A = this chain, B = another copy of it.
C-alpha cells in the first residue's frame, strides 16, 4: 500500500541555530515542503535584521523547502515596523514570559490595553498571531487556565487570526470551535502519548515536553479533531531538538524531536483509525487555507513497509527511537 502526500507542511517547528540547525533542518526539508519556524532562538528573532539573518541561515542548510518565518512578539511592535516586515514573515509568535525554552523575553501581562496597538496593527495588516497558551499555574492546568485569554483576544480582535499552538487538552479543543478566528496546531506526540507515557511507568525524559502530555480524554479530543482533519486544525510538530546529554540529565529540557518520522507515524495513526484519506488536509490543505499560502510543489510517497526509527540523528534522540513503525518514506 502506498500513500502520496502533496506538499506536506509543518506549521510549528524549532530549527535552533548553528550546528544543531545544520543537523535538523535538512531532516525537515526531506519530507516537508515548508514549515513555520519558531523564533525562540538565543537571542529571539525580534528585528528585521535577525529575521533575515535567520532565514538565510536556514536556507543555507536546506534545498527545496520554504521556511515560513515568524517574529517573537513584543508589545511595542508598531504599525510601521510590522508593515516593514510583513512580506518577510507569515506570523508572529507570542510567548508568555518564561513559559518554555528561551521564552524569557515574552509577554509579562495580557492587559488588553497594553497589547492593543500591536494586535490592532497585526489585524489590519492580516498577520496571524500564534500563541503558546499556558498560564503560570499547576502544570496540568496551565493550558485550560489560559483559555479565557484566548477567548478575550479572539473577541477583542475578531479579524485577527489566532493560532492556539500545540493544543493538548479537551478544553482547548472545545474553545477552538467557539470563535471563528481561533485555529490550532496539533503535534504528533500529543496524538500518541499521555502523562502515563512520560511518568506512569518509568520516567521517560525523551517524552517530556511543554505543554506536558495530558490525560487520556484530552488525547481523545485531539484525535477527534486531527483524524477528521477539522478545518480549524493543522499539523505542527513542535519538533524540538535537544542534545541527548541535555535530555538525559537532571533538569532535562522540554522538547520531543519528531520531524524526520512525523509523516510516517501520522500515516500509521490515520490508517489505524481508517482516516488515511484525511491526512492530506491535516498536513497541508488546512494550513494552506488558514494561512492563505500556496506551498512549493513536493510529492512525498509513503509505503506501508516496516522500518525502525533510528536511535539518534546526530546527537538528538527522536521520538520512539529504536521502535518499529509500519510506514516508510520511499
Binding site for B on A (CB under 8 A): 138-140, 194-196, 198-200, 202-206, 208, 212, 215-216, 247-254, 317
Instruction: Give Cα distance in the complex from A215 to B195, angstroms.
Output: 14
Determine the chain B residues whose CB is within 8 A of the CB of A247 once the complex forms: 250
Are A203's CB and B138's CB within 8 A? no
- Closest CB in chain B relative to A142 CB, distance in Å: 8
Q: At the interface, is chain A mostly helix, strand, loop or mixed?
A: loop
Are A199's CB and B202's CB within 8 A? no
Instruction: Give Cα distance in the complex from A206 to B252, angstroms.
Output: 11
Q: How many copies does the complex hold?
A: 2
Instruction: Give Cα distance in the complex from A204 to B253, angstroms.
Output: 10
Are B205's CB and A140's CB within 8 A? no
Are A195's CB and B139's CB within 8 A? yes
Lowest 10 A-B CB distances belong to which pairs?
A203-B252, A139-B200, A202-B251, A203-B208, A139-B196, A203-B205, A139-B195, A205-B250, A199-B212, A138-B196
Determine the chain B residues whose CB is within 8 A of the CB of A249 once the complex forms: 248
Nearest CB in chain B to that of A136: its residue: B200
Instruction: Give Cα distance in the complex from A206 to B247, angstroms.
Output: 14
- Closest CB in chain B relative to A222 CB, distance in Å: 16
A195, A203, A252: which has the most chain B beta carbons within 10 Å?
A203
Determine the chain B residues whose CB is within 8 A of the CB of A204 once the complex forms: 250-252
- Closest CB in chain B relative to A220 CB, distance in Å: 12
Determine the chain B residues whose CB is within 8 A of the CB of A248 once the complex forms: 248-250
Determine the chain B residues whose CB is within 8 A of the CB of A195 once the complex forms: 138-140
Are B140's CB and A254's CB within 8 A? no
Are A216's CB and B138's CB within 8 A? yes
- Closest CB in chain B relative to A194 CB, distance in Å: 7
